[in-house]
Amino acid sequence: FLPCPPVGFSTPKRASRERRERSRGRAPSGSEMASQKERENFVYIAKLAEQAERYDEMVDAMKKVAKLDVELTVEERNLLSVGYKNVVGARRASWRILSSIEQKEESRGNEHHVKNIKEYRQKVELELSNICTDIVTLIDEHLIPSSSAGESSVFYYKMKADYYRYLAEFKAGNERKEVAEQSLTAYQAATSTAEADLAPTHPIRLGLALNFSVFYYEIMNSPERACHLAKQAFDEAISELDTLSEESYKDSTLIMQLLRDNLTLWTSDIPEDGGNI
């Protein structure tokens, strides 16, 4: 259900500030230039790691960029997102496979195997918890405080909500309730800013609606709310399709198709007396 990271263009805030400083007759200081060089090096390492499919190292490099407490460019933001998405995605896939095997072994009464699988699954859950906590902390302590534009704010709150949702996929009891509430709060914050600052056809706003609707369907077990949110986002985007920019056309239309696919899939889960969506 997750869309590809949206693609866009942005001018680094630092670069524009350096240009202003030069026009005023003051060149960037040595420490500023060293910091920029360091930043460029981390980004290059992240790109190398992505090509080599070494996503843990890609994440490490982009974490160093985030901890410089500068506003990330769209490219840097997407590198961070892709790195974490792959790191967490591998563990989520492992968890689903192990859970499926565990259920089969339980149905066969193989208690010894079930015990082994449970221990292995818990190891994966610990890794998932550490990854999700890591990115949420990075967002709260570095990325959101360094963010100024509405677009980047939506991106980070959506990302925060997504990783709390991943925690809710395997947590139980009060822990699950707590992370689900954190996810809901972050999705609502992202939605509020998106509706104020981004066009209905913007790929980040559409991706947010897609993931928020998945949250309602999978975590809150509410196909009605999931369908309402997905349909509203799809209809609003359709009505403003003529405003869609050429560079985001592919991303936006892909996410709109995913919204429509989910609507088709989920509508059958709504009781007949569930009302209109």
Average pLDDT over residues 124-144: 98
Q: Domain 37-146's class?
A: mainly alpha
76/63 Cα distance (integer angstroms)? 10
226 token code pair: 């999931």
The residue among 24 and 181 whose pLDDT is bigger is 181
SS (H, E, C) the chain: CCCCCCCCCCCCHHHHHHHHHHHCCCCCCHHHHHHHHHHHHHHHHHHHHHHCCCHHHHHHHHHHHHCCCCCCCHHHHHHHHHHHHHHHHHHHHHHHHHHHHHHHHHHHCCHHHHHHHHHHHHHHHHHHHHHHHHHHHHHHHHHCCCCCCHHHHHHHHHHHHHHHHHHHCCCCHHHHHHHHHHHHHHHHHHHHHHHHHCCCCCHHHHHHHHHHHHHHHHHCCCHHHHHHHHHHHHHHHHHCHHHCCHHHHHHHHHHHHHHHHHHHHHHCCCCCCCCCC
What is 171-277's CATH superfamily?
Answer: 14-3-3 domain (1.20.190.20)
Domain boundary assignment for the chain: 37-146, 171-277
Task: Return the CA Rg of the chain.
Answer: 21
Amino acid at 45: I
Instruction: Give the pLDDT confidence score for residue 144 in this predicted structure.
Output: 96
- Asked whether the predicted pLDDT for residue 1 surpasses 50, the reply is no
Look at 24-33, 35-44, 155-164 and tell me which has the smallest mean pLDDT: 24-33
The residue among 30 and 247 whose pLDDT is bigger is 247
224-239 pLDDT, tens digit each: 999 999 999 999 999 9
Look at 47-51, 62-66, 79-83, 273-277 and tell me which has the smallest mean pLDDT: 273-277
What pLDDT band is residue 12 in, cutting at 50, 70 and 90?
very low
Amino acid at 56: D
Fold: same for 37-146 and 171-277: yes
Instruction: Give the pLDDT confidence score for residue 89 in this predicted structure.
Output: 98
28/80 Cα distance (integer angstroms)? 27
- Asked whether the predicted pLDDT for residue 180 surpasses 50, the reply is yes
Average pLDDT over residues 25-54: 84
32/28 Cα distance (integer angstroms)? 6
Contact call for residues 80 and 96 (beta carbons, < 8 A): no
Instruction: Give the pLDDT confidence score for residue 21 in this predicted structure.
Output: 43
- Asked whether the predicted pLDDT for residue 275 surpasses 60, the reply is no
What pLDDT band is residue 11 in, cutting at 50, 70 and 90?
very low
261-270 pLDDT, tens digit each: 999 999 987 7
- Asked whether the predicted pLDDT for residue 34 surpasses 90, the reply is no
Nearest alpha-carbon partner for 151 in 86, 71, 85: 71
Return the C-alpha torsion angle 41, 46, 51, 54, nearest 10.
130
Q: Which residues contact 31 (CB under 8 A, 6 or more apart)?
A: none
The residue among 18 and 132 whose pLDDT is bigger is 132
51-73 pLDDT, tens digit each: 999 999 999 999 999 999 999 99
10/248 Cα distance (integer angstroms)? 13
